Structure 1
Amino acid sequence: MMNLNQAVVLITGANRGLGLAFAKEALTRGAKKVYAAARNPASIQLEGVVPVQLDVTSAAEVQRVAQELGDVTLLINNAGVAETGPILGDNAVDMIQRQLEVNLYGPLRLSQAFAPVLKANGGGAIVNVLSIASWITGPLLATYSVTKSAAWSMTNALRQELAAQHTQVLALHVGFIDTDLTKGMEVPKVTPEFVVQRTYQGLEQGASQVLADEPTQQVHAALSGYPDIYLNALPQHG
């Protein structure tokens, strides 16, 4: 069970969108320190945070940051990318590889590097930002879904392995969020602020999973009862 008051938080991809909302709310909830990480730390404009240069695809940078930020008690693996295109497209393998570097290997690198830090600081917590696309897919987000499914499985394994050191691992699943990532998509969206509120509430309640919006809750509930959801759940856009 993670209390944001007096926590030391590291957020990847914190320069905009959901990551920025995570940083703002952490400060509001009384975090002792908020490290806001981005490839270009100059893009971090939020007052009150500590900008950190970090490319999550660089093992060397991840190790450097883990060595420098020895006081972290909450790691939020928020950085992510999404590319659109069908699974049988000529460049599908390249697309998956690019997205895996950020959506799967990035959070895994960070979790491996910060697990000893969290242990030394009493256990702490990790939040992995996943997606409704961890469970369902469609032609528009086919390659993205592959990477989020892999990240979901990794998160579950991470939770099991870190239980012994009392590190809470929370999987955030959500549909479309109103950020730059979904600009131009004519679909129902929730605000970043709403998602962040639900996530921090889940952390403070000791949850291992947050289903942030109604579509995600519906899909999760339907997985066992209606196998057809794998075929029909995502609207066909693009």
Structure 2
Amino acid sequence: MELLNAVAVVTGANRGFGRHLASQLLERGAKVYAAARSPQSIDLPGAIPLQLDVTDPESVAKAAVAASDATLLINNAGVAAGGSLLDGDLGDIRLDMETNYFGTLATTRAFAPVIAANGGGAVLNVLSVLSWLHPGAFGSYSAAKAAAWALTNASRQLLAPSGITVTGLHVAYMDTDMAAAVPADQKTDPAVIAGLALDAVARGDQEVLGDEVTRGVKAGLAG
């Protein structure tokens, strides 16, 4: 799709990777609704703050009405609660799934009819290398991202007749708050990944492999 004059809704746009996506969309000439649970936290010049909590159905519904001219949805909002699958707090495990999977599902269900009514467009889901790689220490997050990958693939088929493409971004560690404890040499520049992802959306690609780690894991899946 053409990003110039696109109307984008970016969830979790108040900081980190979401802010980079929103900023670069503005640079490319798009209108941007920068969505966050607390819209007052949006400080990006030119962006339109939008209240959106992906775990709150009422909030999602109101956002779809407020951004009724949307042609691009970027499901970026996420959380890594860190609960152990065997003995961790079930509330943390549910939070991972409610945010990363059900939140993405809720926004997709709400905005797909909006995008279709506006002539079609695109959805970009921010996934992870942990959609495919499932280390025990990150089992809860991996399970949620694996579910979001399945959602991405299934919704791509369901939305194609409406003129909506669906792109999945898989990436390992980026230099954001979520990966603050990770050594710098193991992290990629989120601005670079944002550019790759938006280029892929513009081309209508199904998948983006953001870094060498992710490309290596994808290549090894058959083994």
TM bucket, shorter chain? over 0.9
Q: How does 1:92-171 map to 2 (within 5 A)?
A: 93-171=90-168
| 2:220 counterpart residue number | 222
**Rg bigger for which structure?**
1
Q: Report whether the alignment pairs 1:178 with 2:178.
A: no
The equivalent residue for 2:21 is 22
The residue correspondences of 1:17-96 to structure 2 (distance < 5 A) are 17-31=16-30, 33-91=31-89, 93-96=90-93
In 2, Cα distance between equivalents of 1:90 and 1:208: 35
The amino acid across from 2:80 in the alignment is: A
Code of the aligned partner of 1:39:
R
Which string of whole-angstrom CA distances, capped at 9 and with x for unpartnered residues, describes residues 14-40 of structure 1? 000000000110011111x10001111
Is the contact made by 1:83 and 1:141 (CA closer than 8 Å) also made in structure 2?
no
Contact 2:83–2:93 (8 Å) recurs in 1: no
Distance 1:117 1:70 in 2: 6
| Distance (Å, rounded) in 2 between the aligned partners of 1:85 and 1:68 | 35
SS of equivalent residue, structure 1 residue 170: strand
**Gaps in structure 2 of 5+ consecutive residues:** none
CA RMSD of aligned residues (A): 1.1
Query: What is the CA–CA distance in structure 2 between the aligned matches of 1:177 and 1:141, rounded to whole Å?
Result: 16
Number of the residue aligned with 2:187:
189
Contact 1:56 1:102 in 2 (8 A): yes
Q: Equivalent residue for 1:8?
A: 7
Once the 2 structures are TM-superposed, how far is the Cα of residue 90 of structure 1 from its aligned partner? 3.8
Q: TM-score, normalised by structure 2?
A: 0.96
Aligned-residue identity in percent: 46
1:22 is paired with a residue of what secondary structure? helix
1-structure distance, mates of 2:107, 2:16: 20
Higher mean alpha-carbon deviation, 127-136 vs 63-72, is at 63-72
Question: In structure 1, what is the Cα distance between the partners aligned to 2:216 and 2:145?
Answer: 18
- Give the number of equivalent residue pairs: 222
Q: Which residue of 2 aligns with 1:231?
A: none
- Cα offset, 1:184, TM superposition: 1.1
Q: Aligned partners of 1:206, 1:58: CA distance in 2, in Å? A: 30
Superposed displacement of residue 85, structure 1: 4.3
- 3-state SS of paired residue (1:172): strand
Question: Given residue 121 of structure 2, which amino acid in structure 1 is its aligned partner?
Answer: G
**Superposition deviation, residue 84 in structure 1:** 2.3
Q: In 1, are the aligned partners of 2:81 and 2:95 still within 8 Å (CA)?
A: no
Cα 1:222/1:52, change in 2 over 3 Å: same
Deviations 1:162-189 (A, max 9, x none): 0111100000100001100010123611
Instruction: Return structure 1 stretches of 4+ with deviation > 4 angstroms.
Output: none
The 2-side partners of 1:134 and 1:90 are apart by 20
Gapped runs of 5+ residues in structure 1?
227-238
Alpha-carbon offset, residue 206 of structure 1: 1.5
